[in-house]
Structure 1
Amino acid sequence: MPPLVANVFHVLKDAEQDGLFLSTPEVNKALLNTFRIEVSVKTVQRALVKLRNEQLVDCEKRGTALFWRKRPGANGMASRSSGLMTYEQALALQTLKRFSSRQIPSLVAESLASLFDTAEKRLDASQNDSERRYRKWVDKVEVESGGFALQHPAIDPVLFSAVTHALFYEQQLDVVYRVRSKDYQEKSKVVDPLGLVEVGGLVYLIAAMPGYPKPAMYRLDRLVSAKMLPERFTYPAEFSLAEYVKDQRQFDFMVEGAITVELRFFNGAGNHLLESPLSDDQVATTTNEGLEVTGTVLLSKRLRWWLRSFGPNVQVLGPAALRGEMVAEARTLMALYGETP
């Protein structure tokens, strides 16, 4: 596509987003405002006719004037039509649609909607055994969580859209958040959105607030309202979402610092750690009593949840404080289950 034609195509409104038709002079003006390209209306008209001939734009005649906008599915690879999309591209898109995280940010979803539709049609149009293998591949792969399956709370799509747009454009968010620790009291806040993280099917907004040194986490399903404000904020250069999640381990919840944990597993409960170590410095030794594992980890609520999941098949040998916690919990459990109903 020639550069001028591509620029004309760019400034047109999108039918998939209920965009308005623009007259040829309006397209010419948008071209000047967006790209500082100054050409005649007739030149723009020729570019628009070329786009119409390629079935990328719709045209309406109102009196003697012509009005234009992008056709549904005209963006991205969809503009090449399903007949020109390769089966490899169609398979990749369908796999992305099916196996991506539970929530694709709405800005991305809007852009990819027509591509997903085109990919599905391309795979459905398989004509022979070789082509049908691509169609069948998606049905041969599944993803299953290793944890106990829960029904995750729904996220309001309108609120989700407001959050993702504010995150994308780096504009402040005015939110009302329902705080569980305070009897679900609703609190109004103006925050700077820094990132989105999905953990176990729950989606969290990571956001900063003026006067607070560290970002906070807000579960999106607890948002009562969210409105993107016109005020922009400067995204902090020192903040890294990857570091926040992977290095600071903020989603381990209530991180208390690094410890050297010493564990003894029974009945093969810890054998998976031989292939998936709990730390870089893990040392595992098989003894007559069981599998003994030591390693440096962060003491947190998540570590405690993980240890409890093994029940009587793990014994905490150290550190002493963590062992004491487990002993106290075991005594409490004895009190709960020691009496015959």
Structure 2
Amino acid sequence: MYDIDREIMRLLPDAGTQSGYLDTPEIYRRLLESVPDKPSRKTIHRRLVKLESDGLVEMEQRGVASTWRRKAGSRGMAAKAGSMMTFDEALALQTLKRFSSHQIPELVAESMSSMFEVAEERLQRTNSDNERRYARWATKVAVESGGFALNYPAVDRQLFAIVSRALFEERKLRIVYRPRYNANNDRSKIVLPLGLVEVGRLVYFVGGTEGKEEHTMYRMDRLAHAEAMLDSFDYPASFSLEDYVKQQRRFDFVVEKELLLKLRFVEGAGDHLLEAPLSKDQKINRKDAALLVQGTVMLSQRLRWWLRSFGPNVEVLEPSSLRAELAAEAKALARIYGD
């Protein structure tokens, strides 16, 4: 399949999940936004006719206009998987679909929707007790978040597709971003997409600005508009998303400085740190009924949120500044909840 055919197939609605069609002029317009070597409208129509003859797309005549969509299951591996997929493969795909509980896997999994459908059909065609056990497996496994469940805002799938594709192709993005303090903003800006990060079910993309070293985090659900430009950019060799997230701790929110944290846990509140240390240099001692823990961490809002979650079952011993800060909060809480 030619590259232009792949681009056309990517743009077309899928008959398995969508009822709409796109006419040739609209396909042409969308291709101009994403394909550097601009094909002619006649070339696109000729390729669509060829894809229809190959059984990959459907055409519906609406007046004088030809409209198109992708046949269900006609994309990628799914086109050949129906008769060859084993029960092991079908179970793996259905498990992946069910337990991809984060937003980014959910958003990218749309491109595999036809594979998931093939897997579901395969698991329904059981011919033995062993196959029936496979089919029941997904109902015997569950995943539950350890935190308090919140209803996080959903990310627009089309905007996510535009941003992720621009990130992949290293092309500039024109966006309209509406932060909490300016929810009606209509002014656009040009950013350089550098990475996608999911933090606690919120999806961010990290964007750079030409001429500036500092990078900015944009929440995907606050994007009002995104348009991939044909202009490419040189991905900065000096930028590492892993370093930005893991070392600079930019998603810990208001990162201040590195410090040696000493804590005293009671009532078993810190026992999970025996298996999941808070730092690489963590040290633990037991004293009477208390667990004493120390380690080098980054002071941040996220650290404060974590400490507050233990209530009276944790005491900050050091540093003295953080101890005083939490002590003042405890006094304020006592005033709120006092008689």
TM-score, with length taken from structure 2 = 0.78
Rg larger for: 1
- Does the 8 A contact of 1:262 with 1:319 survive in 2? yes
Structure 2 unaligned segments of length 5 or more: list them: 15-20, 25-36, 38-49, 60-67
The one-letter amino acid of 2:219's match is R
Deviation per CA, 1:14-56: give whole Å up to 9, x if none: 36556889xxxxxxxxxxxx9xxxxxxxxxxxx99xx95xxx6
User: Counterpart of 1:210 in 2: which secondary structure?
Assistant: coil
d(CA) in 2 for partners of 1:259, 1:105 = 35
Q: Residue in 2 aligned with 1:299?
A: 299
- Give 1:46-57 correspondences, 5 Å limit: 57=56
Q: Residue in 1 aligned with 2:156?
A: 156
Count of residues in Structure 1 that have an aligned counterpart in Structure 2: 299
TM superposition shift of 1:74: 3.1
- Give 1:33-112 correspondences, 5 Å limit: 57=56, 71-104=71-104, 108-112=108-112
Q: Residue in 1 aligned with 2:335?
A: 335
- Does the 8 A contact of 1:256 with 1:300 survive in 2? yes
Q: Residue in 2 aligned with 1:137?
A: 137
TM superposition shift of 1:165: 2.2
Query: Quick one: structure 1 residues 315 and 131, their matched pair in 2 at CA, closer, same or farther if it must change by over 3 Å?
Result: same
Q: Residue in 2 aligned with 1:3?
A: none
Higher relative contact order (Cα pairs below 8 Å, separated by 6+ residues) = 2
TM superposition shift of 1:239: 1.9
Query: Quick one: structure 1 residues 316 and 8, their matched pair in 2 at CA, closer, same or farther if it must change by over 3 Å?
Result: closer
Q: Residue in 1 aligned with 2:325?
A: 325
- Does the 8 A contact of 2:104 with 2:203 survive in 1? no
Q: Residue in 1 aligned with 2:246?
A: 246
TM-score, with length taken from structure 1 = 0.78
User: Counterpart of 2:228 in 1: which secondary structure?
Assistant: strand
Query: Quick one: structure 1 residues 101 and 289, their matched pair in 2 at CA, closer, same or farther if it must change by over 3 Å?
Result: closer
d(CA) in 2 for partners of 1:269, 1:313 = 6
The one-letter amino acid of 1:74's match is S
Q: Residue in 2 aligned with 1:229?
A: 229
Q: Residue in 2 aligned with 1:207?
A: 207
Q: Residue in 1 aligned with 2:190?
A: 190
- Does the 8 A contact of 2:58 with 2:71 survive in 1? no
TM superposition shift of 1:148: 0.7
The one-letter amino acid of 2:143's match is V
Percent identity of paired positions between Structure 1 and Structure 2: 51
Deviation per CA, 1:158-190: give whole Å up to 9, x if none: 32222222222221111111222x354625321
Range moving further from structure 2, 310-319 or 223-232: 223-232
The one-letter amino acid of 1:315's match is E
User: Counterpart of 1:76 in 2: which secondary structure?
Assistant: coil
Cα root mean square deviation, aligned: 3.1
Deviation per CA, 1:171-225: give whole Å up to 9, x if none: 1111111222x35462532111111111111111111112331221111111122
Query: Quick one: structure 1 residues 112 and 170, their matched pair in 2 at CA, closer, same or farther if it must change by over 3 Å?
Result: same
d(CA) in 1 for partners of 2:3, 2:244 = 42
d(CA) in 2 for partners of 1:69, 1:176 = 30
d(CA) in 1 for partners of 2:310, 2:222 = 31
- Does the 8 A contact of 1:13 with 1:69 survive in 2? no
